[in-house]
Amino acid sequence: MTADVMPNPDTPTDRRKGYRSHTPTERAAHGKAARKQTPRAALAHFSATSDRADPLALLEEQAETRVPQLIPIRYGRMAASPFAFFRGAALPMVSDLSTLPNSGLHVQLCGDAHLMNFGAFGTPERRLVFDINDFDETAVGPFEWDVMRLCASLAVASRERGDDTATTEKVVLAAASSYRAEMAKYAGMSTLDVWYSRFDVEDFLTQITKAMKPSKAQGINTSTLKKIQSRDSVKAAEQNTEMVDGLPRFISNPPLQIRGTEFGIKFGVGGLSTQLGALIDELHGRASTYRSTLSPERRHLFDEYRIVDVAMRVVGVGSVGTRCFILLLIGRDSNDPLILQVKEANESVLERYSVKSPFKHHGERVVIGQKLTQSASDLFLGWTTGHPPEGGTRCFYIRQFRDWKGSVEYAELQVPAFTYYASTCAWAIAKAHARSGDQIAISSYVGSGTAFDRAMLSFALDYADQTVTDHASLVAAIDAGRIKALMGV
């Protein structure tokens, strides 16, 4: 439902034609025209129809391309609670969003902007920033889809925390109004100021502690910063490796972490070497594709290391079942480790319902989407291609396994701090959208009043109700034996 005022390019990165050739006044008019075509109130409700796509069928469809032995872990994790289900159900939600009217104002979406996909990480310049930190589903689509997923996740999580109705509404409205207010700021900024915008973790911690009781806030800035900065490759190696014949090797902890030489045996996959030397040779051979995606100076840095081990590792909720590995590299000696995560990238859940990705390689899609929307990205971020023994070609992206990464335990936050966290997540989405889309048109669409905020709240409450129903359906399917789940793993 794109408004017919000016061209809306298929991808935000193609700016040779489209809104960048128009004046701010014309771009604002474009946003208001989009509002007339799709009023903000049209975004306010969700009700499952009789022809709604079955969420469980969509999840089972996703499972067809994943490691079958790991799928029960995914279902077990999703069955733990409605919010756990929500985290793993990005595809069903996008399917639902596609049935609703949309603004037609396209940006590079995160694609899975629930509240746990934000956090702290270290930039290459060794600063701690807060930002979106998951881009598996990044693709082009209507800006409000990210906002709706964040707001719905806040409603589900707030209820699970035991918050009363007034508190849940307050938290969701804080996120929606924060997005609107921040987008208005970006609409008035210069192009470079938008691009340079970032949120340092020290500022984040200062603000969040102001929203806490003094007894709880005492010393949190210093202790939290130290804790986050300790989460690096050295710490990860201490926790996940052991010394074997003078070299560090990954510890095997099935089914969550399995060394590469044991993977084929554990999962009955033929064609994988059980000899570490042969496996490492294979990995070094495949590293050439990854190297080519790095800039020359980072390629030089990567060449300072050598691969000494590999393991398969289960991560997250929605990602369980995709092929995810960790690589152990060492630099000058065994006390100089680097652990890289090699994560499978499949077609974004957005693509079948929105704009098809211009990238043929889904690892490249993830990397470019991340670089376009994040304030700063991982030093080793790149992509590569794998050819698994079962046949076919798989896309992967690569990044550091841990590099000063930290997340917020939302369930433990007092209400004012949780509300501030919700607002900060919305800031991160607004910044990402301002970098990749038309912030002036979007700001004009959402407006200066509270109509957009109320629409997001109404939708979030509706979808939180639907999530409870869908979660119950999963639990019932597990109890009936239709779906096999491994609980508590």
Cβ atoms of 290 and 385 within 8 Å: the answer is no
User: Chain centroid to CA 129: how far?
Assistant: 16
Cβ atoms of 416 and 212 within 8 Å: the answer is yes
Q: Which residue has the tokens 């604002």?
A: 28
3-class secondary structure, 155 = helix
Burial of 257: CB neighbours in 10 Å, binned 0-12, 13-18, 19+: middle
Burial of 242: CB neighbours in 10 Å, binned 0-12, 13-18, 19+: exposed
Cβ atoms of 441 and 31 within 8 Å: the answer is yes
Burial of 215: CB neighbours in 10 Å, binned 0-12, 13-18, 19+: exposed
Cβ atoms of 456 and 43 within 8 Å: the answer is yes
Looking at residue 246, its pLDDT comes to 87
Cis before 9? omega within 30: no
Q: Which residue has the tokens 């990397």?
A: 367
71-81 confidence digits (pLDDT tens):
999 999 999 99
Please determine, for residue 447, whether its predicted confidence score (pLDDT) is greater than 90: yes
371-392 confidence digits (pLDDT tens):
999 999 999 999 999 876 666 7
Cβ atoms of 406 and 205 within 8 Å: the answer is no
Planar angle of CA 480, 86, 143, nearest 5 degrees:
145
Please determine, for residue 340, whether its predicted confidence score (pLDDT) is greater than 90: yes
Of 149-163, 179-193, 393-407, 413-427, the range with the lowest mean pLDDT is 393-407
Kind of pairing, strands 247-250 and 257-259?
unpaired
Residue 185's contacts (CB-CB under 8 Å, 6 or more residues apart) are none
**DSSP string of 418-461?**
HHHHHHHHHHHHHHHHHHHS-HHHHHHHH-SSSHHHHHHHHHHH
Looking at residue 8, its pLDDT comes to 45
Residue 11: other Cβ atoms inside 10 A: 19
171-186 confidence digits (pLDDT tens):
999 999 999 999 999 9
Cβ atoms of 329 and 339 within 8 Å: the answer is yes
Please determine, for residue 298, whether its predicted confidence score (pLDDT) is greater than 90: yes
400 bridge partner residues? 340
200 bridge partner residues? 129
Q: Which helix (H) or strand (E) holds 221?
A: helix 220-229
